[in-house]
Structure formats: structure tokens, C-alpha cells
């Protein structure tokens, strides 16, 4: 049973098998990766869903989710600077908690990244289909058909962009992130003059704690468990650790900086939107930000916001598909998945695993509803965050002498509170989501016992 606790030593941070990824990214690219992942479907669509669960107190939901993610971000920053290797939480767990727990975390990351790609593709399809209907495109080819064709299309297009190369795709992402931020700044500028504090009464109509009504969990914490989807993304930066020019500095700036900036953006956008329209009709719109502007009699700016969503939301797919391929790459290089998946081309791109990730994401996007995808993605992310916070504490005890380029402040307060917060949010998820997540892990355990446990590099080191 030694496979349960066998660990990959920290000195394996430099890849010994299967080649390495090229270091081409500076901290601006990494921070843009984080902002590109965090600011997307959450702000454009889930703001309305969450407002329906918490009322105007959704602003507190954003704050709660942001604080929990900030604690996780600090833990990620320490582990990423210590272990600058592709794989994110999977790799951190492997060097601290053992192979079996690392596999469980890897399954959670696979769920997170793949399903986020699918969820955002479906969200993008909603905006794009609205524009295409006006051009006379048949409904069968839009998101109203049996298969969501636009969602499949955008997932495969992003896959193609990633195959161009890491720096090239990161540059495209950087440009689109700028478009996204300019559009959100314009939204605030248009809404602030019409702000009415009366729209914040009652502030918390469903209370603070999560309580279930007709299968949905209401209250500030119930909403926080859903919009948690809107916050994570900074962890995708750590999957690019091997491709950072100066990982000890750049990873820290990228992770902590993008998390702080996006938390502020979310709270400002939510306050501006709910200050101009009541939360009830706002929560029922599939395009809540555009809806708020339309209610102010500004269809032109509303169309701009909708257009910006169509242009910029693919950055989220790009970042998470990038992260997913790097998790697969790390697990394959460790032997837990077929090592052929760890091959990189002349541009430093793991081609096979990138294509595989894109195809799987496209299939889910074409066939599975948005709310089910997002909820299940949250479960995998929460498990990964718990593992990283625990790994930081374990490594502090086991190897206190290690030089730490970034040190998590008040780690014995921050890490336990992060774990507790993630467990609370997990408990606030829908029961159906928990059962699906359990099923995915049972399937993953079977794959590990039959393949990964035997083929692991640690099982037969060479």
C-alpha cells in the first residue's frame, strides 16, 4: 500500500522525462491569464443568477467568495514559487501529500478546467446566438437546437489558437482582456449617474446562511457557492509555472495581483448594476448587464456590452483549456496517464493533450446544460483549494528550512480558514452536484488502481 503515500520529491521540479515547456511568459502575461480566466462568464451571466439567490446582498456573496479565494491565492503563491512546475494543485499535492491524494486532486482539476471551458462556451453561445438569429441563421444551428453548435464551434476555435504556441495564445488573451476591462469600465460609467439606493431595500431578503428551496440554495452563502465559479481562475496561472521567465517573482505577482484586482471589479460591477435596477427582474435576464443598460434606455451601450461579451468571453475558455492541457501534461509525464500525452511539439505545445481537451470540452458544451456544468466545476475547484492550503501547512512542518520566495502571511490562520471556508461552500452546493462529484471520483479511482498505480514513475523509477 506504499503507493498511497509515495511522494515526488521537490528536486523533481525540473522535468527529467518527456521534455520541458518553453519559458516565454512574463508577469504581465501571467496576470492577464488570471484576469482573463476570472473576469468572464461570472460577471456577464452569473451575477444575475446569484442576485436571484441573495438579493442585493450578492455584493456580500462576492466578498465572501473573494476572501476565501484570496486565502487560497496566498497558499497557491507560496507553493507555485517553491514548485515552479506544470500541474498546479496536482503537483503541489504530489510533493507533499502523496500520489493517491494527488490523483484525487488531479481528477478535481480535470473536472474544473474541462467543465469551465464547456460552461463558458455555452454562455458565449447564448450571446452569439442572439446576434445570429437577427441575421436569419436557422434555430437548428443555434443554442436552441438539440446540439449547441455555436458552443462546439468556439471550443474548437480556441483549441486551434492554443495550438499556435504558448506566447502567441497568451498575447491574443492579453489583447482580449483589455477589451473586456474597457467594456466593464464603460458599464460603470453609464450606470453610476443613475444609481438609486432604494434598489438595495431589502438588502438581504433571503438571509445569510444557505437554505434549500425547490432544489436551490438561497441566502448570501448559497449565492457565494454559485458565484465561486466566477472567482477561480488564478490557479490556472500556476499551471504555467514552467513557462514563466522568472517564476519566483512573476507567479506571485500574477496570482495575488489578478485575484485582488478581480475581487474589486466584481464588487463594483455588482453594486453599479443593482443600483439601477431591482434585483428580481435583473436576476431573470440571461444577459444581466445588458439588461440593466436597456432599462436605462441605452440600447447602444447595451449592444456594446453584449458585443464585448462575445469578443472577450473566449479568453476564459483559452485560459482554462491552457490549464487543463498542462494538468494532463503533468499527470502523463508522471506516468499516471499514458506518457505519450506528455510530448510537446517544436513550439513547446503539448499538442495531443490540447486537442483531446478541446474535443472533450466541445462535447460537453454541445450536450450539457450550463447550470449543471458550472456547479460540478465548483466541486472540483474547492477540493483543489483545500489540498493546496493543507499542502502549505504540511510543507511548513516537514521542511521549514526551504527557502521560500513567497511566504503566505499568518499561514496558521489563513490556511485553516481557507480550508474551513471551502468546506462550507462545498456543503452549500446542491446535493445532486455532490453525488455527481462522488461518481466522478469513483471512476477516477478505478482508472488509478488499474493504470496509474502501476505505471507511475515512482512505481518503477528509471
Q: How far is 80 from 92, CA to CA, in rounded Å?
A: 8
Say whether pLDDT at 215 is over 90: no
pLDDT, position 16: 41
Hunting for cell 441566502 — which residue is that?
A: 219
Q: Which of 231, 324, 237 is nearest to 38 (CA)?
A: 231
Q: Which helix (H) or strand (E) holds 213?
A: strand 211-213
pLDDT digits (tens, 9 = 90+) for 396-418: 999 888 887 778 888 999 999 99
Q: Are 20 and 242 in contact (CB under 8 A)?
A: yes
Q: Which of 242-251, 279-288, 351-360 has the lowest mean pLDDT?
A: 242-251
Q: Which of 175, 2, 22 is nearest to 98 (CA)?
A: 2
Q: Are 113 and 320 in contact (CB under 8 A)?
A: yes
Say whether pLDDT at 461 is over 90: no
Q: Which of 125, 106, 66, 20 is nearest to 444 (CA)?
A: 106
Q: Running DSSP on this structure, what letter comes out for residue 212?
A: E
Q: Using alpha carbons only, what angle is made at residue 12 by residues 10 and 13, rounded to the nearest 5 degrees? A: 75
Percent of all residues in the chain with a pLDDT value above 90, rounded to a whole number: 13
C-alpha cell at 285: 435576464
C-alpha cell at 415: 490556511
C-alpha cell at 4: 498511497
Q: Are 15 and 110 in contact (CB under 8 A)?
A: no
Whether the bond between 39 and the residue before it is cis, its omega within 30 degrees of 0, is no
Q: What are phi and psi of 407, to 5 degrees?
A: -115, 120
**Which of the four pLDDT bands, split at 50, 70 and 90, describes residue 200?**
very high
Q: Which of 12, 80, 110 is nearest to 241 (CA)?
A: 80
Q: Which helix (H) or strand (E) holds 217?
A: strand 216-218
* Cα radius of gyration (the chain): 21
Q: Running DSSP on this structure, what letter comes out for residue 244?
A: B
Q: How far is 234 from 89, CA to CA, in rounded Å?
A: 12
Q: How far is 452 from 462, CA to CA, in rounded Å?
A: 16
Hunting for cell 496576470 — which residue is that?
A: 31
Q: Which of 263, 220, 200, 227 is nearest to 34 (CA)?
A: 263
Determine how many CB atoms are found less than 10 A away from the CB of residue 33. Answer: 31
Q: Running DSSP on this structure, what letter comes out for residue 303?
A: H
What average pLDDT does range 325-337 have in this prediction? 83
**Which of the four pLDDT bands, split at 50, 70 and 90, describes residue 274?**
very high
Q: Are 137 and 121 in contact (CB under 8 A)?
A: no
What average pLDDT does range 81-94 have in this prediction? 78
Which residues pair with residue 299 across a beta bridge? none
pLDDT, position 14: 45
pLDDT, position 402: 84
Secondary-structure breakdown of the chain: helix, strand, coil percentages, each rounded to the nearest 5: 75, 0, 25
> What 3-state DSSP class applies to 25?
strand
Q: Running DSSP on this structure, what letter comes out for residue 40?
A: S
Q: Using alpha carbons only, what angle is made at residue 201 by residues 196 and 204, rounded to the nearest 5 degrees? A: 130
What average pLDDT does range 354-377 have in this prediction? 81
Q: Are 176 and 312 in contact (CB under 8 A)?
A: yes
Q: Which domains does the chain have, with CATH numbers?
A: 27-455 (1.20.1740.10)
Hunting for cell 515547456 — which residue is that?
A: 21
Mean pLDDT of the chain, nearest integer: 81
Say whether pLDDT at 80 is over 90: no
**Which of the four pLDDT bands, split at 50, 70 and 90, describes residue 17?**
very low
pLDDT, position 15: 45
Amino acid at each position: 500500500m506504499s503507493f498511497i503515500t509515495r511522494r515526488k520529491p521537490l528536486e523533481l521540479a525540473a522535468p527529467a522525462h518527456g521534455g520541458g515547456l518553453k519559458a516565454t511568459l512574463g508577469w504581465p502575461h501571467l496576470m492577464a491569464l488570471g484576469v482573463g480566466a476570472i473576469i468572464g462568464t461570472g460577471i456577464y451571466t452569473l451575477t444575475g443568477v446569484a442576485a436571484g439567490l441573495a438579493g442585493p446582498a450578492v455584493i456580500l456573496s462576492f466578498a465572501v467568495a473573494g476572501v476565501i479565494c484570496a486565502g487560497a491565492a496566498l497558499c497557491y503563491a507560496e507553493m507555485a514559487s517553491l514548485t515552479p512546475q506544470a500541474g498546479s494543485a496536482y503537483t503541489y499535492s504530489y510533493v507533499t501529500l502523496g500520489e493517491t491524494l494527488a490523483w484525487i486532486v488531479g481528477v478535481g482539476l480535470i473536472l474544473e478546467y474541462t467543465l469551465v471551458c464547456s460552461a463558458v462556451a455555452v454562455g458565449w453561445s447564448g450571446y452569439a446566438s442572439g446576434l445570429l438569429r437577427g441575421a436569419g441563421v436557422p434555430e437548428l444551428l443555434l443554442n436552441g437546437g438539440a446540439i449547441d453548435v455555436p458552443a462546439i464551434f468556439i471550443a474548437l476555435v480556441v483549441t486551434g489558437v492554443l495550438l499556435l504556441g504558448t506566447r502567441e495564445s497568451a498575447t491574443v488573451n492579453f489583447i482580449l482582456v483589455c477589451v473586456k476591462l474597457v467594456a466593464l469600465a464603460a458599464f460603470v460609467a453609464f450606470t453610476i449617474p443613475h444609481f438609486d439606493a432604494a434598489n438595495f431595500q431589502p438588502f438581504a431578503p433571503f438571509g445569510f446562511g444557505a437554505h434549500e428551496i425547490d432544489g436551490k440554495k438561497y441566502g448570501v452563502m448559497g449565492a457565494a457557492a454559485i458565484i465561486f465559479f466566477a472567482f477561480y481562475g488564478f490557479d490556472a496561472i500556476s499551471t504555467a509555472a514552467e513557462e514563466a521567465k522568472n517564476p519566483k517573482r512573476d507567479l506571485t505577482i500574477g496570482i495575488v495581483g489578478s485575484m485582488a484586482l478581480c475581487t474589486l471589479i466584481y464588487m463594483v460591477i455588482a453594486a453599479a448594476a443593482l443600483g439601477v435596477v431591482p434585483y428580481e427582474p435583473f436576476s431573470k435576464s440571461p444577459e444581466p448587464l445588458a439588461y440593466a443598460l436597456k432599462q436605462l434606455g441605452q440600447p447602444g451601450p447595451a449592444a456594446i456590452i453584449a458585443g464585448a461579451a462575445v469578443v472577450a468571453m473566449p479568453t476564459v475558455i483559452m485560459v482554462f483549456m491552457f490549464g487543463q492541457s498542462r494538468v494532463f501534461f503533468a499527470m502523463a509525464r508522471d506516468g499516471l496517464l499514458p506518457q505519450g500525452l506528455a510530448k510537446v511539439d517544436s513550439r513547446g505545445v503539448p499538442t495531443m493533450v490540447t486537442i483531446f481537451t478541446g474535443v472533450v470540452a466541445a462535447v460537453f458544451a454541445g450536450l450539457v446544460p450550463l447550470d449543471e456544468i458550472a456547479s460540478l466545476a465548483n466541486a472540483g475547484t474547492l477540493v483543489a483549494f483545500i489540498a493546496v492550503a493543507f499542502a502549505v501547512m504540511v510543507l511548513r512542518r516537514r521542511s521549514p528550512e526551504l527557502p521560500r520566495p513567497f511566504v503566505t502571511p499568518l499561514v496558521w490562520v489563513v490556511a485553516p480558514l481557507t480550508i474551513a471556508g471551502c468546506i462550507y461552500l462545498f456543503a452549500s452546493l446542491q446535493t445532486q452536484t455532490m453525488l455527481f462529484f462522488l461518481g466522478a471520483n469513483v471512476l477516477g479511482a478505478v482508472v488509478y488502481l488499474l493504470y496509474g498505480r502501476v505505471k507511475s514513475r515512482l512505481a518503477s523509477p528509471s
